[in-house]
A and B are shown apart, each in its own frame.
Chain A
Amino acid sequence: MLRRSASILSAALAAVVALTTLTACGSGDSQGAADDKAPLEIWVRKPPGSNTEKTHQQLAAKFTELTGVPAHVTALFDDFETKLQQAAAQKKLPDLIVNDTAQLGTLVKQGLVREVDRPGTKGGDQLIPASWDAAKGADGKYYGVPFSAQTFGLFVRKDWREKLGLAQPTSWDELDALATAFTTRDPDGNGKADTYGYVVPGSTKRGYLDWYFSSFLWSAGGDYFAKDGKTPAIGDGSSVAAAQRLKDQFCTAKTVVPGAATAETTQAHPLFETGKGGIYFTGPYNMARFDKSLGKDRYEVIALPAGPGGRSVSLAEGENAYLMAGSKNRTGQQRYAEFLVSPEGQTIGMAGDTDGNVVRLPVNKGMDLAAVRKDQRWLVFDKVYREAGRYVPVVKEWTPFRQASAEALNGMVADCGSDPKAVLGKLAGTFAAELTKQGVGS
């Protein structure tokens, strides 16, 4: 009897095994016929539960209302790229993602995004022409639709500056002098030497330190590549001078908040909020956060003063809508991207003066920023974007360059005995090798 039961159990198990295997095989097939009504799965790089996620949900709901195509938004923030790689490995990518412009090269290289027909994109001619640069691959084709632009400005502790009787900095020397004053003259008046000038996210994660440094590099007259785009310029005189200046703040003037060499942005923000550092070069999206945590009256936003290169250049970034490979609903992908850049989509995305804004600066030239937002500080960023904004160089894949640069700079500031000329000389060699690897240069 027992044996018979065992036989029956064995047969049942075998059936379960066969079924499991078949199901597993069947679920691997993600490719199907085209379907203009298939629901759209959208991933956005925003913290789950945040107001920015809610804005994206509003966008999706409005899109569904207008077109009848269901759209579902998933917000992912930490390790967004990791999760995307996992989805790619399973060939189950979302239909559309809204992610950083700087990710373009990586996405194109791996074939995760499909080409966008710029002239065929409804409303594409209404976008600021420069914004399309952020969606252009090294082959001159477009692989995304620009959705939001942003640039960076100096967040300065106004209360500290006024207490010390100093004016807003108009040159880099004045900026450094302000940082020194914040470090040495006890601006918070607590009788302790526990304040510093610059807050710097100096970790190598996601290439943060290079991300921070690039505006200073360009404003100092330096650059990553020579004008031909085929040879590195990162080891040249002006670039080295910019790096030397960065290192001096860490090692000589000691005006950088301690812990910067391993700090990511999530660890850097609190240093500004809690009064450790008084000057933070960061993006407009932090205004809502700092207004709450620090107080709107206690800090001001100013453009980066012109550097030794004679001008002020600020890294321009933003987010693109990427149309992902393998989607069943290609028409829906295109229509969603077109909706995002339409005046209606951009207005919802700007979310007025709230912290739910996902469109930092509109890319649609028909939009009037001042009409949607009453907060005048946004105009500082808008002006900087239009006059001094510069996107990262167009190469096949920017990530390896940014990562290599962040690692070299991190090594330089972490070791005060380092020689910036030698560090950047070595980095130029790495750049040359990477250019060759990407099929550019000699």
Chain B
Amino acid sequence: MWLRPSAGWARGRLTPWLFLAPALVLFALFKFLPMWRAVEMSFHEVRPYLGDRWVGGANYQQVVTDEAFLSAIGHTLVLAVGQTGGSVLLGLALALVLEGTARRLWIVRTAVFLPTVTAMAVVAEVWRILYYPAADGIANSLLAWVGVGPSQFLNSPDSALWSVMTVGVWRGAPYDMMIFLAALAGVDRTLYEAAAADGAGVWRRVWHVTLPALRPAFVILLTLAAIRSLRVFTEIFLLTNGGPNGSTEVLMTLIYRLGLERGELGVAAAGSMVLLGVSVLLTLLVGLSRRGRTGKAVT
């Protein structure tokens, strides 16, 4: 002991905080202060050079009662469920098909992974061309082969949300595939051999060996994807900008439109707070359900 107990105690308490300080300062400047400012803004009519005007809960009232917001919340949820589910299923299918150690598989996997690392602006432009809503459009030419279409894709309120969802699944699935591939590498091969020796076919082996082994990967992917989907913005903004007829308007595009196109920063901030609340709630629910499951396993 080279320090007196009281000084040592103080220093012991202080040192970790000093080490944490740089990160805390960065977080405070770039995360917590802006977040606090957003909370403030959500209770004001924001006018940077004239002084903000206190409006109480009026912005929140507008958010939860406005028809446009309610419809955007609905679209966000549909998109979150569809995109998450679609990406996970397609990702799993791709992972099962492309699993293995053969050298050439890496080329195929890289090719499949490309949509995820391609800039969204490029993806959107490519899909706008694919979706060209006339008979000579690429997707419509394919539909014509099977005697369907031509579809309006992004240009009809009936099909726009599904068309955007398809792009989201196409882009998200390879990312999920990589997580599944990593998880599949950890599956004990002897289990497959044992199952095969017991006479189990391919589907039985997938059902009883592979899927249980992938459970942690599923939990991580579903949590990440659900939260990501709630904040979907870029693909909508670039593909349809919320149209046609508001059929693809989601919370983020509506918040963007209100805040930065119409200058209603207070209402937009209130919308952001609602979105933050929903995201936190979702994360807590997933966390609680996992803790419950872990607790059960331990007992």
Contacts and interface: CB of A to CB of B under 8 A. Distances in A.
A399 B132 contact: no
Task: Tell me the interface secondary structure of chain B in the complex.
Answer: loop
A411 interface: yes
A399 B257 CA distance: 11
A50 interface: no
B243 A111 contact: no
A225 B146 CA distance: 51
11 contacts: A10-B19, A14-B21, A24-B29, A106-B262, A202-B244, A259-B134, A262-B244, A407-B245, A410-B244, A414-B247, A415-B157
A111 B134 CA distance: 46
A6 interface: yes
B21 to A, nearest CB: 5
Contacts of B25: 17, 20-21
Contact of B241 (A204, A258, A399): A204
Interface in A163-222: 192-194, 202-206
> Which 10 pairs between the two chains have the least Cβ-Cβ distance?
A414-B244, A111-B50, A411-B245, A111-B49, A10-B18, A261-B244, A258-B134, A258-B133, A82-B260, A414-B245
Interface of A: 3, 6-7, 9-11, 13-14, 16-17, 20-21, 24, 79, 81-82, 85, 88-89, 91, 106, 109-112, 192-194, 202-206, 258-262, 264, 267, 325-326, 397, 399-400, 403, 407, 410-411, 413-415
Task: Tell me the interface secondary structure of chain A in the complex.
Answer: helix
Contact of B49 (A13, A14, A325, A407): A325
Given A258-B155, A259-B132, A111 B48 contact: yes
A10 B15 contact: yes
Contacts of B265: 85, 89
B246 interface: yes
Interface residues of B, number: 44
A399 B239 CA distance: 23
A112 B48 CA distance: 8
A9 B11 CA distance: 13
B22 A17 contact: yes
A79 B260 contact: yes
A203 B243 contact: yes
A278 B239 CA distance: 24
Contact of B239 (A9, A91, A111, A262): A262
Nearest to A83: B260
Nearest to B18: A10
Nearest to B16: A10
Contacts of A258: 132-134, 137, 152, 155
Contacts of A415: 157, 244-245
Given A109-B47, A267-B128, A414-B156, 11 more contacts: A10-B18, A17-B21, A111-B48, A258-B132, A258-B133, A258-B137, A259-B128, A262-B160, A262-B241, A399-B263, A411-B245
